[in-house]
Chains A and B, each alone.
Chain A
Amino acid sequence: MEQTLFQKYGGFSKVSRMVLDLYNRLLDDDDIGPFFDDIDMARIVDHQTKFISSLLGGPASYSNDQISRTHQHLAISARQFDIMAEVLAETLADHGMASEDVESVVNAFEKRRNLIVG
């Protein structure tokens, strides 16, 4: 069976660090952060855990329908999406992910742009 990025980069014990780092960066970011202003911490962490896991082929996957439904009320701009992609790429790279893998993750994220921006 082909190894997923989730497995390649050390499974949950390593991926959990990426998740918490991303969480920190997003909360500190004044473009993305406000989306989480009134959200319970546990929900944000849950969201980030599933987000990273699904992008890396971990134990979470979302149908396009689900992604679209959960983001449609948020009015996310193209610029915010770009920033998110940037923060994501930086975080993964800082945690030692090879550049081609970062690229493939960001591409997978980019593919969902139409479901999220709007």
Chain B
Amino acid sequence: MSIEAINEQLLRAIGVGVALLDLNELRFRFHNDTFSEWFGEPDPEARLSDLFAAMDIEALREALKDGGRYTAETTFKVKRRTMTVSMDFNRALEGDERIAVLVCQNITRIKELESMIDSYSMMVERNTREIKREKEQVEKLLLNMMPRPVYEEYKTFGVVTPRLYDPVSVLTLDFCGFSEMVATLDPGVIVSELNDIYSAFDRIGEQFGCERIKTIGDAYITVSGMPDAAPDHAMSVANAALRFLRYLRQRNDSHPIQWQCRIGISTGAVIGSVVGVQKYIYDVFGPAVTRALRIRGQSEPMTVTADSTIAELVSARFSRLSMGMHDLGGGNEHEIFRMEAIAEQPQGYGLPS
């Protein structure tokens, strides 16, 4: 068998569709078996447009005019399977005659794979979005339970190292007659009222650099000076305390349920840590918390009561009235003071009073 004959056999049997067209008329001059298997046997006089009606013949002529190439895709069905074939036209010269070589490759599998990747990536992206949303919810929940830097430490290391913070200022607050209110009011009403009030306290506290640590029923505890040290921690809680009172007075003017609170503030050391393994909570405890709780117990309704340390620290803006000696823990008697704002309060925070 001659080389030419072998070449022709190969060309006929190859899994790539091959056809030759004269460029003037775009009539078929040759096609191999694969081509006719896919597209049928072209008539001797058939033109390219007879087999591929949708093809842009003008664009093809234009592209091949200067010896360039033209590519297109065609899809058809074999039984129920969608086949996609890429068509690649190149110009060639045979003697003086200009011809186009058409090479067709079956890219069905590539198209199927592309579809599958599309489908799969859409599923994965949807899952990723859901996971992200869940993660954000968990983060939000944990941020409600602990300050952000503590959360970051917990996220990175899985534990939170207990720390001593000194000095910080602690504000504790509770409501007068809360037990009676719980007994007489609808539970839903109590909870929604508390939600409303605590949310306002959180907002006010945040403005003054306080971090709410926890609430236990009607008891609300917020701290300034931790986890990041703040030089004006005493002033922060004193100002927040005033604002809490002002908020409640205004609220009582327009709400049927009247809330009277007592506030105790103190300065000193506390320990902050995540406590618990399964049911963990970020907690703050120590002398300053104990003192603030005891002071609050001695406080009159709708007043702020302080120990001497914090009273001294805020003396530039708060006057004090002695409330006598009281045991603030440890068996020693300490003088406590009822605090009153001097002139307009607060100042220096850029907030309207």
Contact = CB atoms under 8 A, between A and B. Distances in A.
A12 interface: yes
A23 B119 contact: no
Contacts of A59: 120, 123-124, 126-127
Interface of B, secondary structure class, is helix
A12 B127 CA distance: 14
- Kindly state the interface size class of chain B when it binds its partner: 10 to 19
A48 B120 CA distance: 10
A40 B81 CA distance: 9
A41 B116 contact: no
Interface string B99-125: 000000000010111011011100110
A interface majority secondary structure:
helix
A16 B120 contact: yes
A42 B126 CA distance: 19
B49 interface: no
B123 A16 contact: no
Given A20-B113, A23-B112, A41-B111, A46 B80 contact: no
Interface of A: 12, 16, 19-20, 23, 27, 33-34, 36-37, 40-42, 45-46, 48-50, 53, 58-60
Ordered nearest first, which 4 A-B pairs have the shortest CB separation? Answer: A41-B82, A45-B115, A46-B119, A42-B115
17 contacts: A19-B116, A23-B112, A27-B80, A33-B79, A36-B80, A41-B82, A41-B111, A42-B115, A42-B118, A46-B119, A48-B116, A50-B119, A53-B120, A53-B123, A59-B123, A59-B124, A59-B127
